[in-house]
Amino acid sequence: MGGFLGTRGDFIVDLVMTISGFLPFLLVFTFYLAAKGKYLLHKYMQIILFSIVVVLVVALEWDVQFGGLAGISDQSPYAGTIELLIVFLVHLFFAVGSFFGWLWLIVKSFKRYPKDFDFNHKKWGKILFFGIVMMAVTGWLLYWMTFAA
Ligand code: HEM
């Protein structure tokens, strides 16, 4: 199915890009909920957001390997260049780091809550936020180089 962002990307990759554009704002909203004392909502929204991201990443991986994206990336003027490789490696670094970091923070906090945290939850939450934003930004750059340029 064709995409809706006006590039060579298909529906799945365009959907993933759109949601990853909203993700930082949704995360900030969960932090706001926590700051207001709405911890349960904060907790469930974190779990839901993480689950949505997992489903999207699996869908994107399938799309790249077997679906509509297989072959399209070769049409990019950046295909096979060192620039694309560098952006890809930086993206992979933030994507893998924040995926496991996010999972770790959810599991650790889930097990402990509602007891007081015995670690700096807020500090780790903010570090992870930075990682997730970098994942989204480098993902967008990768998307632009692969499907729009
Ligand atoms: C799903 C399990 C989670 C539970 C049960 C939980 C629970 C809480 C609680 C009780 C607080 C207030 C106490 C404190 O600040 O130490 C809090 C604050 C916070 N949480 Fe979580 N959390 C969860 C997941 C996450 C994740 C995965 C992130 C980051 C991606 C995160 C980021 C934050 C931030 C930034 C604050 C501080 C908000 C503020 O006061 O400005 N939390 N959380």
Single pTM value for the model:
0.94
Q: Which atom of ligand 1 is nearest to the CA of 114?
A: 10
Q: What is the pLDDT of residue 73?
A: 86
- Establish whether residue 128 lines the binding site of ligand 1, counting it when its CB lies within 6 angstroms of any ligand atom: yes
Taking the centre of ligand 1 as the mean of its atom positions, its distance from the CA of residue 31, in whole angstroms, is: 7
Taking the centre of ligand 1 as the mean of its atom positions, its distance from the CA of residue 39, in whole angstroms, is: 7
Q: What is the mean pLDDT of residues 10-38?
A: 97
Q: What is the mean pLDDT of residues 11-15?
A: 96
- Establish whether residue 122 lines the binding site of ligand 1, counting it when its CB lies within 6 angstroms of any ligand atom: yes
Q: What is the pLDDT of residue 69?
A: 87
Please list, residue by residue across 70-105, b when 16 or more beta carbons sit within 10 angstroms of its beta carbon and e when fewer do. Answer: eebbeebebeeeeebeebbebbeebbebbbebbeeb
**pLDDT tens for each residue of 84-104:** 999 999 999 999 999 999 999
Q: Which range among 70-84, 110-124, 132-146 shows the weakest confidence by mean pLDDT?
A: 70-84
**pLDDT tens for each residue of 27-83:** 999 999 999 999 999 999 999 999 999 999 999 999 999 888 878 888 999 999 999
Instruction: Give the span between the Cα atoms of 83 and 122, in whole angstroms.
Output: 35
Residue with tokens 């993933």: 16
**Contact criterion met (CB below 8 Å) for 23 and 49:** yes
Taking the centre of ligand 1 as the mean of its atom positions, its distance from the CA of residue 98, in whole angstroms, is: 16
Beta bridge partners of 33: none
